[in-house]
Amino acid sequence: MRQTRTRTAAANRTGRLAAAFTLAAIMLPAGVRGQQLPKMPTQTFRTISGIVTDDHHEPLHGVVVELENSSSHQIVSYLTAEDGRYSFKRLDSNTDFQVWATFRGHKSTVHSISMFDSHMQKVIDIVCKTY
């Protein structure tokens, strides 16, 4: 009779373990049971580029183009190439920016780029007064 009780106690423990695993499986979040969890949004980047020209649409070499992050107020500078081109890459698309050029002490018009602008490759050509 004693062996029967031992088997019965072992069977009860096994039954309780099975019930616990079944309950745990039912309570697991959907993603763990094989369904896909929603994807986390990935960070997207923006590029701002263009050409700096004079009043006669001639490209200007060596112009300082500045880009300001409107959140942190950090400013990054770029010197234009021989063809007047500038480029700022890998900018956070969830941030507003302002860009302008300075040539011989004269500042151009300030151009604003909104975080709500959907263009990830933004082209802004800047005209500088040469006086």
CA 86/CA 25 separation, integer angstroms: 57
**Could you tell me how far CA 120 lies from the centroid of its own chain?**
11
| pLDDT on residue 23 | 58
Distance (Å, whole) CA 128 – CA 104: 10
pTM value?
A: 0.67
When the candidates are 2.60.40.1120, 3.80.30.20, 2.60.60.20, 3.30.60.50, the CATH number that belongs to 45-127 is 2.60.40.1120
**pLDDT of amino acid 85:** 97
What's the Rg (C-alpha) of the chain?
A: 32
Alpha helices by DSSP H, listed for 28-130, are none
Each residue's pLDDT tens digit, 55-91: 999 999 999 999 999 999 999 999 999 999 999 999 9
Question: What residues does each domain of the chain span?
Answer: 1-38, 45-127
